[in-house]
Structure 1
Amino acid sequence: MAEMTTNESPVRLEERAGAGGMRVAVATLDVPKSLHALTLDMIRLLDGALARWEADPSIACVVLQSSTDKAFCAGGDVRSLRDALLAQPDAMPNPVAQAFFSEEYRLDHRIHTYAKPILVWGGGIVMGGGLGLMAGASHRVVTETTRIAMPEISIGLFPDVGGSWFLPRMPGRCGLFLGLTGAPLNAADALFTRLADYYIGQQDRGNVIDALCQVAWTAQADAGATLDLVLRGFRCSAEAMPASEVRLHFDAIEAMTGARALTDVVAAIIAYDGESAWLQRAAKALSAGSPFSAALAWSLQERARHLGLADAFRLELVVALRCCAYPDFSEGVRALLIDKDNAPHWRPPAPQDLAQCFEAPWPKNPLADLN
């Protein structure tokens, strides 16, 4: 028996019959024109569905995917967020921004702590908020089309959606490098940086879901191990993967990010003059990016290093709302996505600007109940 939203819904929900009387729940992001960028409506649909499925003993596992091969999710709907900020420039916190970020982070936290296995199919573009959906899932698939990035440096934001928690947990200091530069990751990079678990051909997505529906799920069985068994049957060989840029340039990344001051790290990255096109693009992105975003990314790596997941999300919510009030975010979205002139006018941050970003704008954090 299938339960599905209307065709006009940005998130299609269904429950597919599986063997043994259990069912496989599937949530499909379905806004191809925006590359499935997350809106508050989509966040609420996903969060409500995940809550219901977690409480339903007949649901064996959940699959989260998109309706197209081009992208899983290209991030949050920052255009609409910018409009809301411009409509209420003096509001602190902006009510639209608070609703969006608090509910997005709550959804991401739910995925991280979900009681049932969640398979995220991360084919195509996975950026920003899309990585927030993927990073915490129990089973994460990447393909030959996967392109992951946290490009917030280019829009005056910072690596959020749990980035302050999962970036420092990557090998060495590559999480810091990725947060500062927004450098893109392929499938091999995702596996190396612990953002993915399996490399499977994009053409096998439907076959994987069909196979999950043929498994004899039982309420007593270890559903996570069962899902692993199915995915291993479709896993591609290591030889089929592209080379990992992060692994290839790991020593160079460590050298560039080894200083104890942000200014020295930024200078080292920007000064790269080697032959790697990937590192050249990373240096260029940092050089052209928001200095305020770089400062936030650096500070969050330090402040969140020893925080638990829930505390990291609470900290990010404070910073996100303050960051939205700083002019770089609206200017960055304008330059990249609206006017598309790629010529943002960044405001050099003063020390008090950065300090204020860590001051809570309310007496009680809306995510205070997360644990």
Structure 2
Amino acid sequence: MTQKVVFQTLGTASGKQIGVATLNVETALNALDLDMVRALTAQLQAWQTDDDIAMVLLDGAGEKAFCAGGDVRALYQASKEAPGSVDTLAKVFFEEEYRLDYLIHEFGKPFMVWGDGIVMGGGLGLMAGASHRIATERSRIAMPEITIGLYPDVGGTFFLAHMPEKIGLFLGLTAFQMNGADALFAGTANYLLGSDDKEPLLDALAEVMWDDDDTVNHTRLTEVLNARNVPAQESFLKTNMDTITALCTGELEDIVRRFEALSSQDAPQLIRARDTFLAGSPISAHIIWHQAIIGDELSLDNCFHWELGVSVNCCAHGDFVEGVRALLIDKDRTPKWQFADVASVPQEVLVKLLTSPWQGQTHPLNNL
């Protein structure tokens, strides 16, 4: 059977090596399953403590996607088979996925992600923690969880909250697809390279005189990437930030009314954003709005703590099962959400979803 993640090391002129991990499920747009999460975690931990490894590159097989997200079909099946339970595959998967994401954030050595093509959901969780995050002219980067009854997890509570103005909330509510320039503006990427520059980049990295000092190696990788940066395309997010901020300020029901008031005279990107938001899960919209409030108050590890509870609750009690059914299983694209709109979601439902299942117990992520 083909390996779902391929690991190799590249020699360099310095004698040091570059660790390369390639997500290798091209037909599934390199979506992450639990086996892939576990393989990545084990190898990255080994490379993190290996003095011969100067830096790590994480990329995806093929030209379509770096990573289109997590294997939500498996989570759907597990959640459907044990309705109302938070102790399913979802708990195991999310816990181990978040540990992997946190490991990348805290890796220490230079960690580069080649974010070419589709980078969505769990793929953005992998990319967000990297020290060197590359987008290309083909990048399509988004957090589309509102369409399946989830919310931007995988550290989104942290990185969306640290974007300019209301950009993070806008991305979460609307599943807006960023291009490379948008990603640079929002901070999900910090370099923009041509999609055909990958092999020349690897050749250049092989010539770097890597050091024993991680700080020096960060600087050397930055120098190589700066020399290859290409001019950014136009960023819709940057150009329209004032409009986006005005749309997404205030209470959730006010935000809904402003989106509903958009007309055909407004930018097509805003109309698409409106339609996705208003068709999405009302429960998810509430979670995303709440997430935006608390995100800049929480440390990174506490963001993952909060997310684990909310994610398993979404699978057990929220709209996740119905959202996945409508989009990926039956593909009728007509989800029957539990509530018709955001105004109809009772407060007690939100309290239940936002309350950790591990009250008074040891949290699974306590030792992050």
Mapped partners of 2:14, 2:295: distance in 1: 44
Mapped partners of 2:195, 2:70: distance in 1: 24
Mapped partners of 1:212, 1:46: distance in 2: 22
Mapped partners of 2:30, 2:109: distance in 1: 24
Displacement of 1:195 after TM fit? Answer: 0.8
Q: Find the partner of 1:43 among 37, 40, 48.
A: 37
Equivalence for 1:256: 247
SS of alignment partner, residue 332 of structure 2: coil
Equivalence for 1:22: 16
Equivalence for 2:353: 357
Equivalence for 2:315: 324
SS of alignment partner, residue 297 of structure 2: coil
CA contact (8 A) 2:155 2:303 kept: yes
Deviations 1:280-319 (A, max 9, x none): 1000001111000000001112233311000000000010
- What is the TM-score normalised by the length of structure 2? 0.95
Equivalence for 2:51: 57
Whichever residue aligns with residue 46 of structure 2, its letter is R
SS of alignment partner, residue 62 of structure 2: coil
SS of alignment partner, residue 222 of structure 1: helix
Equivalence for 1:100: 93
CA contact (8 A) 1:271 1:283 kept: no
Mapped partners of 2:234, 2:330: distance in 1: 35
Q: How many residues align?
A: 359
Mapped partners of 1:105, 1:297: distance in 2: 18
Equivalence for 2:342: none
Displacement of 1:25 after TM fit? Answer: 0.3
Displacement of 1:327 after TM fit? Answer: 4.6
1:219 aligns with 2:219: no
Whichever residue aligns with residue 169 of structure 2, its letter is L
Whichever residue aligns with residue 369 of structure 1, its letter is N
Displacement of 1:334 after TM fit? Answer: 1.0
CA contact (8 A) 1:74 1:128 kept: yes
- What is the TM-score normalised by the length of structure 1? 0.94
Displacement of 1:136 after TM fit? Answer: 1.1
Mapped partners of 2:242, 2:315: distance in 1: 35
Matches within 5 A, 1:149-164: 149-164=142-157
Displacement of 1:206 after TM fit? Answer: 1.6
Mapped partners of 1:269, 1:112: distance in 2: 34
1:270 aligns with 2:260: yes
Equivalence for 1:366: 364
CA contact (8 A) 1:140 1:197 kept: yes
Displacement of 1:270 after TM fit? Answer: 2.8
Whichever residue aligns with residue 361 of structure 1, its letter is P
Mapped partners of 1:270, 1:52: distance in 2: 51
Whichever residue aligns with residue 61 of structure 2, its letter is S
Mapped partners of 1:361, 1:195: distance in 2: 31
Mapped partners of 2:196, 2:159: distance in 1: 29
Q: Find the partner of 2:223 among 219, 223, 229.
A: 229
1:127 aligns with 2:120: yes
Q: Find the partner of 1:112 among 93, 99, 105.
A: 105
Q: CA RMSD in A?
A: 1.2
Mapped partners of 1:142, 1:90: distance in 2: 39
Mapped partners of 1:287, 1:59: distance in 2: 47
SS of alignment partner, residue 209 of structure 2: coil
Identity %: 45
Deviations 1:202-246 (A, max 9, x none): 00112212221221212147110110111122211x2xx321110
Deviations 1:238-286 (A, max 9, x none): 2xx3211101211110111122x11001221232123311111000001
Whichever residue aligns with residue 150 of structure 2, its letter is L
CA contact (8 A) 1:270 1:286 kept: no
The runs of at least 4 consecutive aligned structure 1 residues that moved more than 2 Å come to none
